[in-house]
Each structure stands twice: as structure tokens, then as C-alpha cells.
Structure 1
Amino acid sequence: MAEQVNPREDILEAVYQIVLERKAMADGEKSYVKSLFDRGLDKILSKVGEEATETAVAGKGGDKDELVYEVADLFFHVLVLLGYYDIPPEKIYAELRRRFGMSGIEEKANRSK
């Protein structure tokens, strides 16, 4: 049975916490997430790249349901990557808040200073 999430809870944070729990599992206990961590950073990065490509293909295809499915896969694998480095989603939210209201051109110019 699938785990339930409180509808008021930040779903990305909830999934991230499960990722961290799976990361901490002892050897011998298996889950998909644990298998990614066991196989290392290159495997995690490969999955992020694969899901990004599938997201781009779905976006080009125009099927909105397929796009939602692929973006969910991409977000999930990005959360695994963040978990690898112990970077909570809040760090990403903070960076997005910092950029909010700033043009992309301005933000990129500020990065290169």
C-alpha cells in the first residue's frame, strides 16, 4: 500500500524525507532509491539525464498527461540527487525566491560577476 501524504504537507519535502530514509537503509534492505544510492552518483546522474530527456520528448509530443508523468519522474530523480548531497528542497526554494522578480538576463549576468 502506498504511503499517504498529508494534503497540507509539501509533497517535495515529504518525498525528499523518504529519499533520505531509503538512503540510510542498511545493506540488504532494498528499495529503488537505495539501489540508486548503492550504484553511486553516476547512476543517479544518468537517471536525471534520462528523465530530463523523456520530459523534453513528452513536452514536444504535446500530451499533457504524459508531460505531467515525466516531470514527476524528473522531480523525483532530482530529489534523489539532492539527497545524495544532503541538500534539502528548501535550499532550491530559497534560490528561486532570491531570483523571483528578476529577469533571467539580469540573474545570469549577476552569476558571472
Structure 2
Amino acid sequence: MTDFTLADLETIVAARATSDDAGSYTASLAAKGIAHVAKKLGEEATETVIAAVSQDDARVTSEAADLLYHLLVTLHLRHVPVSAVMAELGRRTAQTGLQEKAGRPDSSAG
């Protein structure tokens, strides 16, 4: 088991995203902008879904790691800290999932 956290990954992403290291994948992603990174996030989400339904646990683990990494890069570029996401999750768990979902604004109305 590891003590590595999403907060650790957030710190690494933030440092590498602003790096001038030509060998940094994170820096190259960040330089391409939010639209490119969001597209990569979607691709990783799809790959995670495919792995979940048709591949072994090792592949699911690998794809989930890719998904979380690209999510953290997306959050960094949007200036949304992981702590804000965790606070939102904490708020949501204060009630049942069905109660929380019923309290969301209707996305089809806008």
C-alpha cells in the first residue's frame, strides 16, 4: 500500500505544468491548453470504461491512473484545487445520493 495521495499528484502536476523541461509530458500537455487536455481526459475516461467492462484488473488500474492524472491536469489548468472537489464530495455525502441528486439544478432546463 502507498501513502501517495491526490494532493501529492496535484503538487507534482502544478510544478511540472509550469516547467520549461522539454521532456515533461505534463508541461507539453499544459502548453497545448485546456481544450486539448479536456479531450485527453475524455479519451482516458473512455479507455477506463472499456477496461472496466472487458479487461483485467491491472488494465483497469492503469487506465484509472491515467484518468486521474489527466483530471488533475484539467483541474490545474482551470485553477480548481483538489480540495474544492473534496469539499464538494464531502457536502454531497452529508445526505443520501438520491437526495443530493434531486437537489441539483435541472441541467435540461438551461
> What interval of TM-score do these two structures reach, taking the shorter chain for normalisation?
0.7 to 0.9
Q: Which stretches in structure 2 are left out of the alignment for 5+ residues?
A: none
Matches within 5 A, 1:1-113: 7-8=2-3, 11-26=5-20, 29-30=21-22, 31-112=24-105
Identical residues among aligned pairs (%): 37
Q: What SS class does the counterpart of residue 37 from structure 1 fall into?
A: helix
Superposition deviation, residue 109 in structure 1? 2.0
Give the TM-score taking structure 1 as reference length.
0.83
Aligned residues: 104
What is the one-letter code of the residue matched to 1:18? I
Q: Which runs of 4+ in 1 moved over 2 A?
A: 101-105
The whole-number CA distance in structure 2 between the counterparts of 1:62 and 1:91 is: 32
Superposition deviation, residue 107 in structure 1? 1.4
What is the one-letter code of the residue matched to 1:99? R
Q: Which stretches in structure 1 are left out of the alignment for 5+ residues?
A: 1-6
